[in-house]
Structure 1
Amino acid sequence: MTTLWIFIALFVIVSLALIWVPHLRQKHMLKAEEAGVRKQTNLELFETRLAVLEKELADELLDQAEFDALKKELEISLLQDMKQGSEDESLSTEGKPKSIVWPSIMSVVVIALSAYFYSTLGAYADLDKAVPDNPHAGMDANQIMDQRIQMMEAQAKSEPENSQLQFSLGHAYISASRYPEAVKAFDRAMALVGTHAELLGPKATALYYQANQQMTPQVQSLVEQALELDPQDPSTLLLVGMDAFFTADYEKAIGAWQTILDSDRNDVDRSAIMNAIESAKMRLQGGMGEMPNDANHQQVKGTAKTVTVEVSLSDELKDKVSGTDILFIFARNTEGPKVPLAATKIAATALPTAVTLDDTTNMGGNVKLSDAKSVEIIAVLSKHGSVKPQSGDIQGKVDMVEVGGTTQLVLDTQVQ
């Protein structure tokens, strides 16, 4: 649209200049030329007559007194002619002005053509339209999150003493998997308001994910410190329950999550926690850690939204795999608690392979894969039979894939 405006403006300016500049210049030149010719003619006549008088004086046809009188009369006549010429020029200019009809008509035509071009090629009809209702139209979840974080970072620079903003920014960093930055944000918040369980819990969670979901001594220390300050802190208990769930300690997971529900806190997603407890109970009743097998979903494949994962092993780690290794694959919602929505396991000997996750491979409860818009996919090639990565295991991850889509996952990282 800007380019069109520039083109139309240049077209109008150049066209009007071509029309009016020659017209005005010609009018001025004609007036000057006419005045110059008139003056030159009068001067030439004066000089001719004066030459005749001087010759007659030299031939003694006139005496000096007659010569002086005639010369004076001639000079007076010249002055009168000059004055008369100026008056005639003024009368001629006023009585017969140069016509501006054609330049005016051409100017109107140029402006009309410009208006036609804009009405045909422009979008003037859209000028009064409101800004689109969805400012994130055309953006995926990662782009929306990045935009949100950039806005929060800009606000944090202008409000360095805003502890609540640092707290929110830390959680946003966790959602974007930017764990070191999340830790710094929670540290800045604690520097402003002091050490509180509601800040220690999220910091421990960020460090937990940064350590590839390992309960390191640093994470455990933060968990203990947070629970000492507030035994019912939801962020800390969510982390405790999640780690227990992944290590198949379902009783501990249920206990941690139930404590959150019993606290009557209003700032938690109670429905999600209840579903997580239900999932843990089903795993506990199903035999301590049994996960749905990939073959279980074949009877109803295609009846619900699915995510197909093409799993392969990096060339550098192929010699690290044995025939007894088990591959665990699970999907987690990119929003809300990081509880698996669907999971399956296959033998490592099947690699490379394509695995389909759907509602028949869910982890129990009311939360289903088909209810999510997008998920992250995590795969662990375990040598110990546990879904939680341990030393020597090989893992891979896809940060986001839309439910209903297909993605490729490469097992390329060996846990140290």
Structure 2
Amino acid sequence: MTTFWILIALVLIIGLMMIWVPHFRQTKLLQAEESGVRKQTNLELFNERLGILEKELQNDLHDQNEFDALKQELEISLLQDMKHKGDDSLAAAKPKGILWPSLMTIVVLGLTGYFYQQLGAYNELANPPQANNPHQGMSNEQIMAQRVQMMEAEVQQAPENSQAWFSLGHAYISANQYNKAVAAFDKVMELVGTHAELLGPKATAMYYQAGQKLTPDIQAIIEQSLALDAQDPSTLLLVGMDAFFNAQYQDAINAWQAILDSDRSDVDRTALMNAIQSAKMSMQSDTGAMPNDDAHSAVKNTGTETGTTIAKTVSVMVEVAPELASKVGPNDQVFIFARATQGPKVPLAATKVNASDLPLTITLDDTTSMGGDVKLSGASEVEIIAVLSKHGSVKPQAGDMKGTVDAVKVGGKTTLVLDTIVQ
């Protein structure tokens, strides 16, 4: 800000110099010119009168004494005349044209202020957008990229800082840079040794990198982690999430409950209990509500604590493509879930309906949360994925149908068509 105003001041000074320097230079030149002309005129008059006196002396009209007296008088008159005329010239030249540059100065200053206020960034300087929120105007992707850059700079300055590498690994996961996340966690283990709390995040990064599939390599890391700490939260969270997506609800409940039983203070116990409740209801539900439909309706029809209605919802009209309608069975289930378009590809909300009820409009919001620490209300835009399952599993299998909506604003509506047969 200081540099900016210094530049503004320099520009104004240069502009004013362009007005005033020529003015003073012109005044000085006029003064010198006028003074020179008057001086030259007086000398010419003196020489002319002196010439007349000399002729009169030659013609014996004056004697030598009279000539000397008249010549001395003429010289004194010349000196007095030049002195008075010079003073008059200075007085006349000094105030010349002072009004015009003064008006130009006022106009330049006024126009500069007016156009800057109208066309410049006056409002931004008067009210800096980052005064209260340093990330104002930035997308989630830009914020995450900035966070990653800051952490990368930190580990470059302190390459032996294991905590910085650990934080950077989690930031890479949030930025969907799974290869770098795995490398970061390997670096931490190189510095401090192999621990369950490091193997769990590494397995999670590899899981997302593999398209949310448990490969033999990931399974081996999970087993290694649980052998070191059977109650490691990061590992059990991954185990429970994969079990839930494969409709193995009891396995998911067992994994999440093990975290609660560990009495760890560094976990979100409320989120875990919500996730367990969602798994229990999905396991017991015959109609497909994933989670409680009654709670969902209650929240939709009541206000928040401030008395405003909840707007952080996505309304989705789900239907089957006409050419595939004959392939829908009476016992097929449809899983619908929303994921953030930016950041980790973790479901923010999900529900389940009977395929026989389609077409059907469903609403996703925080009451259909999957129980994690991120919710639909925290996202600005989501993608919607629906899977018509013939095997009771969220993960698409051969013969299932699938449909997607690439992006929809939270608070908006969309239509999703199940139009693809999974091969």
Task: Give TM-score scaled by structure 2 length.
Answer: 0.68
- The residue type equivalent to 1:342 in the other structure is A
My pick for the range that moved more, 335-344 or 4-13, is 4-13
Matched with 1:357 is 363
Matched with 2:384 is 377
- The residue type equivalent to 2:94 in the other structure is K
Q: Report the Cα distance in structure 2 between the residues aligned to 1:414 and 1:152, rounded to whole angstroms.
A: 43
Label 1:310 to 1:83 Cα distance change in 2 as closer, same or farther (>3 A): farther
The answer (yes or no) to whether the contact 2:388–2:400 under 8 Å persists in 1 is yes
Q: CA deviation at 1:133?
A: 2.3
The answer (yes or no) to whether the contact 1:327–1:346 under 8 Å persists in 2 is yes
Q: Report the Cα distance in structure 1 between the residues aligned to 2:125 and 2:373, rounded to whole angstroms.
A: 43
Q: CA deviation at 1:260?
A: 0.9
2:29 is the alignment partner of 1:32: no
- The residue type equivalent to 2:412 in the other structure is G
My pick for the range that moved more, 26-35 or 108-117, is 108-117
Label 1:42 to 1:140 Cα distance change in 2 as closer, same or farther (>3 A): closer
Matched with 2:267 is 268
Q: Report the Cα distance in structure 1 between the residues aligned to 2:133 and 2:276, rounded to whole angstroms.
A: 36
Matched with 1:230 is 229
Q: CA deviation at 1:270?
A: 0.9
Q: Report the Cα distance in structure 2 between the residues aligned to 1:174 and 1:125, rounded to whole angstroms.
A: 35
Matched with 2:99 is 102
Structure 2 segments unaligned to the other structure (5+ residues): 61-66, 303-309
Matched with 1:292 is 289
My pick for the range that moved more, 394-403 or 323-332, is 394-403
Q: Report the Cα distance in structure 2 between the residues aligned to 1:147 and 1:277, rounded to whole angstroms.
A: 35
The answer (yes or no) to whether the contact 1:313–1:411 under 8 Å persists in 2 is yes
| 3-state SS of 1:192 partner | helix
Task: Give TM-score scaled by structure 1 length.
Answer: 0.69
Structure 1 segments unaligned to the other structure (5+ residues): 63-69
Pairing of 1:337-416 with structure 2 (within 5 A)? 338=346, 341-345=349-353, 347=355, 355-358=361-364, 362=368, 377-382=384-389, 384-390=391-397, 395=402, 401=408, 403-407=410-414
Pick from 331, 334, 338: which aligns with 1:331? 338
**Residue deviations 1:219-268, cap 9 Å, x none?**
11111111122211100011111111222222222221121112111111
Q: CA deviation at 1:135?
A: 3.1
Matched with 2:249 is 250
- The residue type equivalent to 2:87 in the other structure is L
Aligned-pair identity in percent equals: 43
| 3-state SS of 1:188 partner | helix
My pick for the range that moved more, 104-113 or 230-239, is 104-113
Q: CA deviation at 1:411?
A: 6.9
| 3-state SS of 1:330 partner | strand
**RMSD in angstroms over aligned alpha carbons?**
5.6
Q: CA deviation at 1:88?
A: 4.6
Q: Report the Cα distance in structure 1 between the residues aligned to 2:284 and 2:90, rounded to whole angstroms.
A: 111
- The residue type equivalent to 1:186 in the other structure is F
My pick for the range that moved more, 225-234 or 25-34, is 25-34
| 3-state SS of 2:179 partner | helix
Matched with 1:67 is none
The answer (yes or no) to whether the contact 1:327–1:345 under 8 Å persists in 2 is yes
2:188 is the alignment partner of 1:192: no
- The residue type equivalent to 1:145 in the other structure is M
Matched with 1:21 is 22
- The residue type equivalent to 1:192 in the other structure is L
